[in-house]
Structures are given as C-alpha cells and as structure tokens.
Structure 1
Amino acid sequence: MIFNRLFGGGGGEAPAAKIAVVRNITIGRMVRLDALAWRRLTGSNFALDRDTLEITAQGVITLDDGSHVHRFYTDDELMLQAVSQSADGSDADDFTLFKPWSSTYPADRNDAAAFRERMREPAWTEAGLPPFQRFWYEGDDRPQPPVELWEAVYYDRDGAPVRQIRQACMLYAREVPPEGQELLLAIAMQPEGGDLTHEIMIGLPLLPAEFSA
C-alpha cells in the first residue's frame, strides 16, 4: 500500500525544480475518475459529486529513502497522490484520492499538543465517523510518533515552489464492503510563516485503471 513507502522514514524538502508529469497528470490538466471506485463501497464516508478533477496546484515531497510523493490538488482541496522511486514519476504505481473532512485551528498550545498525542495512538475516533485503526505500524499497538515531512507546493509547472509546508501526520484505515478500504489521514500542518491547522482527510486507494488524464 502507498503509505508504507510514503512515510517509511520521514521527509526532507523537495528541490525547486520543474515538476513531474505523472501518468499525464500535472497543473492545468483534467483527471477523469471512475466513480465506481467509491460508489461500489457500502457504508463509506467517501463520496464525490463529480468524476473529474481540474488540477490547479501540485505538491512534491522527497523522502529520506529517495522515493518521491506527488500530490495533485483541485481548488476545493481534493488531493490525488502518487508515489514513485524516480523524480519524474515515470514508475509511480501507488495512488490514493483524498477529500477534506475537517480543518480547524488549535485553540492553544495544549490543544495542539493534544492533537499530536492523538496521532500517536493505535486508533482514531472522529465525530461523525466510525472508528479507524492505525494503518502504519501495523500489528503494533504501542504509541508511535507521527511522521514529519516538508511539502513544496507549486502553482506553475515551470516556476519555483510557492509554499513550503511542514506536516506531522498519521494514517488510519478501516475495511468497508465489498472488499474495500477507507482511509483517514490526520495532519498537523503549518506553512512557513503561516498558522498551524489540524486537518482530517478521508480517502481511498485507487487502481491505475480507475483514473486517467
């Protein structure tokens, strides 16, 4: 699964270089989705009212093991994510699609610390959602630290990154019939020079046949 490699060992800043085109996906292009990817699931909280994504921003993360995370965003912050070993994304083979569930500002330092502490636990409960079990550190019920990384975000294919965003995150999952999986990504996110926010995203794995550009 995608996140085993994505967050296997923390992250570093992505280089300011021309961004990759992954399976013909990049800023300014449309992605077509197979809506059966979520409509076939029973009891899932992931749903979209459309089957196309207009990509208006792109994020890049370079991990310590040399692999690369490519994130493609819409204006309403849907996120299609791919992982590759090569910087150009030509060998990308793991894909996920996420949509925002909630975004809040911590009330104070204690609130921020409590959110990070929640990310250490083997299960996540969120208002309006069923319980999720930690996907990373599978089989280990001990508290584990969230993954720390930097993401460089671009709005121009040939330009320098506009934002550098520091993130601490943890991934959770639950099984949904028939033979499906729903994901929850908890993120403590802070752009350079910006405010800290707590983000919850709901997602699902995508097969390469379930989208095109």
Structure 2
Amino acid sequence: MFGKLFGKKDNAARPALPVIRNVTIGRTVVLDPLTWRRFGAETKFVLDRDTLEITAQGLIQLNDGAFVHRFYTDDEIVFQVVSDDREGQRANDFTVFLPWASEYPADRSDRDLWSARLRARTFQPEGLPAYTRLWFGDEAEQQDPVTLWEDVYYDRDAETPARRLFQTTMLFHRDLAGGDGRELLLALTLEPEDSKDVTNETMIGLPLSVGEFRA
C-alpha cells in the first residue's frame, strides 16, 4: 500500500526525525498480542506476530499544532503515535493499523464515489461490518474529511523526506466486546506529490495503551 509508492533517497545529514518512545527506523516495536487476541473472532484485526521491524517513518503536522508519527514495516503495518509536540515528549495516542484494501480508482466517477463514502456517517468496506464516523462525531449526515501532508523517510539521518504524500482521510470505529473495546477503520485517498498514481486505502486498527507495546 504505502510502501509501493515510496522511493528511497541517499542523504547523510543531520537527523530530521524524532525518536518516539525509543521507536524509529531500524528498531522494533513489540506488541502485547492480548491487545487483539482478547477479542477473539469479534475483531477483524488479525496479526500473525508481535514484533514490528520499522523500515520507514512518517511525520505529519496537523493544523492544530499536534503531530502524527507513523512507523512502517515492509508489509505496511503502521504503528502510529499522536503527540502535542514534534519530539513526542507529549505523546497521548497510540494505534496499530493493518492494511485491509488498496484500490486504484478507474475514473472520475470512482473517485467521486469514494469521496462520498469518506463524507458519510457510516463506512462499510466489502467483507467488513459497518463502522461509524469517529472524527467530528456522527450527528451530521455529511462531514468533510481531513486533508494532510505526510513526509516519509527511509533513512533516519536524512535531512529531507524521500517522499511527500497528500492524504484525504476519515476515521471510523465500531465497539467490541460489549463496548469494552474499539476497532478503528482508517479510510483515505493517497496522492504522492511526485506521481499521478492515486489509491484508495482502507486500514483496520486497534488503540494501544502505553502498557501494550515496548521498543
């Protein structure tokens, strides 16, 4: 998904990337498998291992001044951290996402249909249950999605990103285990700055507490 759109660039310069809770390119994140196993067949999040080897890192600055840090494996699993500061000292939100589907829109009508799905109150991909809009709440019938730029690095010492990705995205969710758990669905349009390739991406995620991972 994300990985097939990245390009590598050799650049030995001062580090541009923060290390968040000891996580960065070239290191590993160990997850507590009970995070997903405790839900059994109820969750669509299924991971066959508990250790993620990080080979790419993304950095997003949100309009409110917060930052999103994404750490990628070669098979496009994402460990995500949201922090009030760029260095991650005030990290307050942790999630792991698995790729579910990646599609190239065939034409403008496909893109318009996907855009309408991102604005809707609920989202239901093929093979999955329905998810309800989490961002902005579900009161409004239609809600504009979030747009952002992500700088992606393959070298943690690089001064500039290897790629920049423009994303139009919305986050949905559904309750698990009688409301004691939550499964997330991240739906987005991915547009690389230096490519005409546009993809529609769907990812399944679970929130993490600070005790459910280590690095």
Contact 1:93 1:208 in 2 (8 A): no
Q: Which residue in 2 is equivalent to 1:26?
A: 24
Q: CA deviation at 1:139?
A: 4.1
Q: Which residue in 1 is equivalent to 2:181?
A: 180
Matched, 1:60 2:62: no
Structure 2 unpaired stretches of 5+: 1-13
Matched, 1:82 2:81: yes
Q: Distance in 1 between matches of 2:86 and 2:201?
A: 27
Q: Which residue in 2 is equivalent to 1:96?
A: 95
Alpha-carbon RMSD across the aligned residues, in angstroms, is 1.2
Q: CA deviation at 1:64?
A: 1.5
Amino acid at match of 1:197: T
Amino acid at match of 2:139: D
Q: CA deviation at 1:27?
A: 0.3
Contact 1:55 1:73 in 2 (8 A): yes
Amino acid at match of 1:50: R
Q: Distance in 2 between matches of 1:92 and 1:78?
A: 20
Q: Distance in 1 between matches of 2:108 and 2:48?
A: 37
Report the 3-state secondary structure (helix = DSSP H, G, I; strand = E; otherwise coil) of the residue aligned with 2:49.
Answer: coil
Contact 1:120 1:145 in 2 (8 A): yes
Report the 3-state secondary structure (helix = DSSP H, G, I; strand = E; otherwise coil) of the residue aligned with 1:204.
Answer: strand
Amino acid at match of 1:157: R
Q: CA deviation at 1:63?
A: 1.1
Contact 2:121 2:138 in 1 (8 A): no
Q: Which residue in 2 is equivalent to 1:130?
A: 129
Report the 3-state secondary structure (helix = DSSP H, G, I; strand = E; otherwise coil) of the residue aligned with 1:80.
Answer: strand
Q: Distance in 2 between matches of 1:139 and 1:152?
A: 30
Report the 3-state secondary structure (helix = DSSP H, G, I; strand = E; otherwise coil) of the residue aligned with 1:93.
Answer: strand
Which aligned pairs between 1:101-116 and structure 2 lie closer than 5 A? 101-116=100-115
Contact 2:132 2:138 in 1 (8 A): no
Q: CA deviation at 1:193?
A: 2.1
Report the 3-state secondary structure (helix = DSSP H, G, I; strand = E; otherwise coil) of the residue aligned with 1:47.
Answer: coil
Q: Which residue in 1 is equivalent to 2:11?
A: none
Q: Distance in 2 between matches of 1:30 and 1:204?
A: 18
Q: Distance in 2 between matches of 1:23 and 1:17?
A: 16
Cα shift readout 1:135-190 (whole Å, capped 9, x = no counterpart): 11214232011110000000011102000000000110000115111011101001
For residues 38 and 116 of structure 1, do their structure 2 counterparts lie closer, same or farther at Cα, with a shift above 3 Å needed?
same
Matched, 1:191 2:192: yes
Q: Percent identity, aligned pairs only?
A: 52
Report the 3-state secondary structure (helix = DSSP H, G, I; strand = E; otherwise coil) of the residue aligned with 1:116.
Answer: helix
Spell out structure 1 runs of 4+ moving beyond 2 A: none
Matched, 1:167 2:155: no
Q: TM-score, normalised by structure 2?
A: 0.89
Report the 3-state secondary structure (helix = DSSP H, G, I; strand = E; otherwise coil) of the residue aligned with 1:118.
Answer: helix
Q: CA deviation at 1:126?
A: 1.1
Q: Distance in 2 between matches of 1:139 and 1:106?
A: 27
Q: CA deviation at 1:17?
A: 6.3
Structure 1 unpaired stretches of 5+: 1-15
Q: CA deviation at 1:35?
A: 0.2
Cα shift readout 1:56-94 (whole Å, capped 9, x = no counterpart): 000000112111110000000000110111111111121
